[in-house]
């Protein structure tokens, strides 16, 4: 049966959530990297494309979820991080101007804040760890934006931070396949113990996203799947119905 356009249900094309999956190496910031490498330029461009796709859903709030936040800890206006640990005297406000006594951001949330600034996102931001993502997604109005920050295995090559582990490549490939196909159940089922052994810092974030969106229809796109410095850097975006 053909339904006249005027009789279509409301909000058929309005997503409930949009997600950008980005890694969080500080070298994403030009101030840290210095002279740009081709691999970093490619990664930076992929992250920009994923964040642009996320913001295309016009979310009022973007949740930045990443490792390093304690359970129950939330970041918001006035909080910020810096890059002094990487030899660069740069402050990174999370949402608006830094305020005295504001919380200090983990590196993942600081890089996420920078990505949102680069994309000129004007809305509100909330930063959390993986443990607090599910409840926050239930509390916020749709469409909610999620910027999921997390690296793959840091054991992809002999020059990687964790040296080479032959299991690292297949593990990261499974993550990228799940991101590319929108397989939330596969993300939720990632082995947390193996992820920790392979120094894949993004696993808790990906598991939380998978659990939050399991059973939902996801339109997915993989932008980047490489390990240029021995660390897996997957980049993707999802639109969740």
Helices 38-55 and 107-118, axial angle in degrees (round to 10): 70
pLDDT recorded at residue 11:
39
pLDDT recorded at residue 83:
83
Query: With b meaning 16 or more CB within 10 Å and e meaning fewer, what string describes 169-200?
Result: bebbebbbebbeebbbebbbebeeeebebbbb
**CATH superfamily of this structure's domain 14-240:** LigB-like (3.40.830.10)
Q: Which two tokens stand for residue 173?
A: 């490939």
Cα separation, 197 vs 200, whole angstroms: 8
State CA 119 to chain mean position distance. Answer: 14
> Residue 148's beta-bridge partner residues?
21, 65
Q: Which two tokens stand for residue 49?
A: 């494309």
- For tokens 């990443």, what's the residue? 66
Q: Which two tokens stand for residue 211?
A: 């659990």
What does each C-alpha distance from 211 to 19, 33, 187 come to in angstroms?
Answer: 14, 35, 8
| pLDDT in 10s for each residue of the chain, 241 residues | 333 434 333 334 689 999 999 999 999 999 898 888 999 999 999 999 999 999 999 999 999 999 999 999 999 999 999 888 888 888 999 999 999 889 999 999 999 999 999 999 999 999 999 999 999 999 999 999 999 999 999 999 999 999 999 999 999 999 999 999 999 999 999 999 999 999 999 999 999 999 999 999 999 999 999 999 999 999 999 999 9
The phi, psi pair for 64, rounded to 5°, reads -95, 115
Q: Which two tokens stand for residue 222?
A: 């993989």
* Residue 66 near residue 133 (C-beta atoms within 8 A): no
Ramachandran bin of 224, using left for φ above 0, alpha for ψ from -120 to 50, beta for the remaining angles: beta
- For tokens 């021995």, what's the residue? 230
> Residue 62's beta-bridge partner residues?
125, 145
Domain ranges, ordered by start, for the chain = 14-240
Non-local CB neighbours of 53 within 8 Å, separated by 6+ positions? 18, 20, 221, 237, 239
- For tokens 């796109």, what's the residue? 221
């Amino acid at each position: 049966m053909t339904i006249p356009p005027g009789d279509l249900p409301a909000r058929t094309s309005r997503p409930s959530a949009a997600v950008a999956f980005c890694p969080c190496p500080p070298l994403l910031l030009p101030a840290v990297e210095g002279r740009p490498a081709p691999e970093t330029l490619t990664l930076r461009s992929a992250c920009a494309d994923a964040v642009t796709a996320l913001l295309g859903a016009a979310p009022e709030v973007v949740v930045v979820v990443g490792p390093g936040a304690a359970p129950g800890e939330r970041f918001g206006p006035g909080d910020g991080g810096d890059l002094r640990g990487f030899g660069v005297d740069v402050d990174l406000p999370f949402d608006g101007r830094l305020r005295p006594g504001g919380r200090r951001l983990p590196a993942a949330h600081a890089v996420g804040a920078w990505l949102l600034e680069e994309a000129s996102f004007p809305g509100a931001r909330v930063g959390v760890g993986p443990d607090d993502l599910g409840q926050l997604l239930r509390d916020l109005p749709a469409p909610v934006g999620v910027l999921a920050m997390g690296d793959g295995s840091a054991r992809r090559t002999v020059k990687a931070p964790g040296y080479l582990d032959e299991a690292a490549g297949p593990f990261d490939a499974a993550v990228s396949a799940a991101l590319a196909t929108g397989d939330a159940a596969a993300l939720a089922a990632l082995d947390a113990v193996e992820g920790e052994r392979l120094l894949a810092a993004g696993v808790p974030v990906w598991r939380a996203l998978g659990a939050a969106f399991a059973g939902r229809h996801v339109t997915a796109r993989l932008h980047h799947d490489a390990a240029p410095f021995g660390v897996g850097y997957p980049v993707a975006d999802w639109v969740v119905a």
